[in-house]
Amino acid sequence: MKKTTIILMFLQGAAAIGFAARIGDIVDVAGIRSNSLSGTGLVVGLNGTGDNSVPSAQLLASLLRRESGVTFSSLQLKSANVALVMVTAELGPWSREGSLVDIHVSSLQDAESLQGGMLLATELRGLDGEVYAVARVAAISTNSWTVEGKTGSRVAKNHPTVGRIPNGAYVERSELSRFVELVGQQRYLTLTLRNDNFSTAERIREAIDTLYPGAAFAQDPGTIRVLVPESIAGENLIQFADKVLRLDVEPHVPAIVVINERTGTIVVGGNVSISETAVAQGSLVVKIKEQQNVSQPTTPFTEGASTVIVPDSAVTVEERDGVLITVPQVVTVAELANALNAIGASPRDLIAIFDALWKAGALQAKLEMM
């Protein structure tokens, strides 16, 4: 039987006493982002676990022609010791020329494993087609292993066709982020909430105004614009942003119940309440037993008869009488949890109870099914 996890205790404490979070922990600063890089590369030195494909042979032939000037046919270079891979990296918002970034290597063909392989130098390009980094020649760490017996049995741990190289690429061209926007003669810092909310946006505006009066305004429930005072010099912009992002606010916790029926997880928000109602909770216990029976001829050596395996299924259903219990109006998660425990609902039944309460209009929260 699938177990259901109910996440109540943390939210219960949060609703009871409230909690403060730093502005920098609940917002993103507009303009600060990384850029995705990718490139097609070649892994060599594999012990017969490569892809042995035409594309990898063509890439190897092109590489040898460029390096040595000798032209080979791709059919001559087909080998299971090489593999065609996709190399990806994230160019950080402050990565400068000469700095190192981590890279990930993934097989593109039917290679069995990249374990023990060496990645050749690979150009990493952005979506604009420009080269921003170059992966250096380095060994791949797959954090996995594969063992194969002579009879074809095979045991593998993790994913041997995916690996990473820490500090595996040199940044050749930086794309530095700008977190201050210049509009006319005014400088602005734009904060975007990770969870849009009217109350949280207003609380952030109020907190910033206590430090810099009249500098902040909420453009919408997800955006707060902060005017950089003229007294803040350019070399002090980092200090200004740090002061703003370190301010404490109390985020608004929405009244919401999130249910993931596939994993059996229920998350109840701190402001969830239910109106006075009555709940009848009953359970059906279904038992299914699968077994294999052997059917054998009653008379030995019967012509045309043979022994066969016949599947047999047995299904039993038990119904337990439900109890009608009146649930008083509750206003906190703690009282809601106590009320549900008083009903004696099994974890599996809680999903149906929340759904029924919402449809009856007794659940004062948004119900979201994942």
Tell me: pLDDT of 330 over 80.
Answer: no
Helices (H), the chain: 9-17, 23-26, 54-68, 198-211, 237-245, 333-343, 347-359
The CATH number for 245's domain is 3.90.1150
State residue 152's pLDDT score. 57
Q: Do 122 and 41 share a domain, yes or no? A: yes
- Are 41 and 122 in a shared domain? yes
Question: Does residue 309 lie in a domain region?
Answer: yes
- pLDDT tens across 211-247, in order? 999 999 999 999 999 999 998 998 899 999 999 999 9
Is pLDDT of 329 > 70?
no
pLDDT bracket for residue 285 (50, 70, 90): very low
The total of structural domains in the chain comes to 3
Residue 264 lies in a domain: yes
Within-domain flag for 83 = yes
Q: Which residue has the higher pLDDT, 209 or 5?
A: 209
Mean pLDDT of 157-174: 89
State whether the Cα torsion 241-247-253-259 is positive or negative. positive
Domain ends where: 249, 278, 296? 249
CA distance 362 to 255: 13
**Nearest-angstrom CA–CA distance, 66 and 303:** 74
- Same domain, residue pair 230 and 298: no
Last residue of a domain, one of 171, 191, 208: 171
Band of residue 4 on the pLDDT scale cut at 50, 70, 90: very low
Judge whether 300 lies within some domain. Answer: yes
Contact 41, 87 (CB under 8 A): yes
Q: pLDDT at residue 99 above 50?
A: yes
Q: How far apart are CA 41 and CA 180, in angstroms?
A: 37
Residue 268 sits in the same domain as residue 355: yes
Please state, in angstroms and rounded to a whole number, the distance separating the CA atoms of residues 165 and 101.
9
pLDDT number for residue 62: 86
Last-in-domain residue among 204, 223, 249: 249
Mean pLDDT over 265-282 rounds to 74
Answer for the pair 16, 331: CB distance below 8 angstroms, yes or no.
no
Q: Quick one: 272 and 365 in the same domain?
A: yes
pLDDT band for position 2 (50/70/90)? very low
Assess whether 44 and 102 both reside in one domain. Answer: yes
What was the pLDDT predicted at 14? Answer: 45
Query: How many other C-beta atoms can be found within 10 angstroms of the C-beta atom of residue 186?
Result: 10
- The answer on pLDDT for 167 being more than 90 is yes
Q: DSSP code of 143?
A: S
Q: Are residues 136 and 239 in the same domain?
A: no
User: Where do runs of H (alpha helix) occur along 113-154?
Assistant: none
Structural domain for 212, as ranges: 21-31+178-249
Name the band, by pLDDT with cuts 50, 70 and 90, for residue 1.
very low
Write down the pLDDT at residue 37: 96
Q: Note if the pTM is more than 0.85.
A: no
Asked if residue 65 and residue 25 are part of one domain, the reply reads no
